[in-house]
Amino acid sequence: MSKTDNSEDACPLPIGQYDKIVMAHGGGGQLTQSLIDKLMLAEFDNPALNEKNDSAVLAINNERMAFTTDSYVVKPLFFPGGDIGKLAVCGTLNDLAMSGARPLFLSCGLIIEEGFAIDSLQKIIHSMSRQAKAAGVNIVTGDTKVVEKGKGDGLYINTSGIGVLDTAMNISPSMLQHDDVVIINGDIGRHGIAIMAQREGFKLEQALESDCADLSGLVKLLLDGGIDIHCMRDLTRGGLATALIEISTAANKQIMLDETAIAIADPVRSVCEVLGLDPYYVANEGRFISVLPSAQAAQALAIMHAHPLGKKAVVIGKVDKGSQSMVTIKNRIGTTRILQLLSGSQLPRIC
């Protein structure tokens, strides 16, 4: 498993039982983690990267800047509640916001498949522009590549973002304290299930939209309100469970959740029940968890409740005593279970 040392070009693999990339390597679970840890971190090894936060926080002269990048490969490109353009802007704004940064500039890299409709591209670019304007950021640089028909999925977008930290606070898993509360800004699983329903043609009784949204405004309110946020994480492909497991692992702290506090909309629950999916691992694009001192919980909730994206904010758990990195959830029936990192994406069960 360890890096061989006889050649600079030696590959640090093997990373696991696979000698080729499989889809599960992109699922955000154990295989993604091991790819990052054993390949990227081993090779790129530097303090900013090794923090493994959503954004790298970099000290430049007397400023602290946040820098992040993300690629968007969603299918379908247009979905209830958004499109790939909105997603690409919001996702990167959110990654910046999670480090406590105020987003300033974005880039836009497009990989377009030959034959893609200009009309669709226009809609997507317009959507990016509108979202960036609403957040008060400029898209200041970009790149366009076209690949042959059949070599891409219509359109892939990469966005990078730069922001500035107006606060001296260190927002990171290492700041977690015993008795901190975990707050989420709403119900979970909307994005993943809305996308899946659209892609697979499920007919849901109730309409379901992705929660795709720019969270930077809401985060700014919390920071301006003097909330001593210890850690934040937006919930993306691996869902609530993966985000919390990552935090718990990085912090070496146990996090305990209360199932009854975690809201899940009926259409999300229905699809999860039918397909045997666990909503805690389903993707979100407009939800984030913040970990902060319990003494400030009421104040933080009051601030969030006043913002459209935080109306349903609730405390869903707390940081437990002990230094075992683990996320447990107290079930509705009073028992507890451990939430574990999945290998890859969730696979629908047979029966």
Partner 1 sequence: MKYIDEFRHQQHVELLATAIRNACTRPWTIMELCGGQTHAIMKYGIDQLLPNDITLIHGPGCPVCVTPLQAIDKAIGIAALGDVIFCTFGDMLRVPGSTKDLMTVKAEGGDVRTVYSPLEAVTLAQQHPDKQVVFFAIGFETTMPTTAMSVYQAQQMGLKNFKLLVSHVRVPPAMEAILSSAENKVQGFLAAGNVCVVMGYQEYLPIAEKYQVPIVVTGFEPVDILQGILRCITQLEQSQVTVENQYARAVQTSGNTTAQQMINRVFKPVTRSWRGLGDIAMSGFELSADYTDFDAENAFQIAHINTQEHQECLSGKVLQGIIKPSQCPEFASRCTPESPLGATMVSAEGACAAYYTYRRQQSITENNSQ
Tokens of 8: 């600079």
Choice between 60 and 351, CB closer to partner 1? 351
Shortest Å distance, C-beta 120 to partner 1 = 23
Cis peptide before 76 (omega within 30 of 0): yes
Cβ(99)–Cβ(233) below 8 Å: no
Choice between 176 and 268, CB closer to partner 1? 268
| Axis-axis angle for helices 84-98, 216-224 (nearest 10) | 20
Shortest Å distance, C-beta 48 to partner 1 = 28
Listed in sequence order, the DSSP H helices in 112-189 are: 118-135
Q: For residue 161, give the nearest of 221, 210, 94, 73 by alpha carbon.
A: 94
Tokens of 140: 């200041």
Residues 6+ apart with CB under 8 A from 19: 13
| DSSP per-residue string spanning 259-272 | GGG----HHHHHHH
Shortest Å distance, C-beta 306 to partner 1 = 31
Tokens of 80: 């209830």
Shortest Å distance, C-beta 108 to partner 1 = 30
Choice between 170 and 249, CB closer to partner 1? 249
Give the Cβ contact number of residue 123 at 10 Å: 15
Choice between 265 and 314, CB closer to partner 1? 265
Give, rounded to a whole angstrom, the gap between the first and last alpha carbons of the chain: 37
Shortest Å distance, C-beta 47 to partner 1 = 28
Tokens of 44: 């790129």
At 269, the amino acid letter reads R
Between CA 19 and CA 196 the distance in angstroms is 29
Choice between 57 and 245, CB closer to partner 1? 245
Choice between 55 and 343, CB closer to partner 1? 343
Choice between 220 and 330, CB closer to partner 1? 330
Cβ(267)–Cβ(260) below 8 Å: no
Cβ(173)–Cβ(255) below 8 Å: no
Tokens of 229: 């946020």
Between CA 100 and CA 103 the distance in angstroms is 9
Residues 6+ apart with CB under 8 A from 170: none
Choice between 194 and 227, CB closer to partner 1? 194
Shortest Å distance, C-beta 167 to partner 1 = 36
Shortest Å distance, C-beta 135 to partner 1 = 36
Shortest Å distance, C-beta 18 to partner 1 = 6
Tell me which residues touch partner 1 (CB under 8 A): 16-18, 20-24, 30-31, 34, 200, 266, 269-270, 273, 275-276, 322, 324, 326, 328, 331-338, 340, 343-344, 347-351
Choice between 60 and 333, CB closer to partner 1? 333
Shortest Å distance, C-beta 264 to partner 1 = 10
Tokens of 165: 């930290």
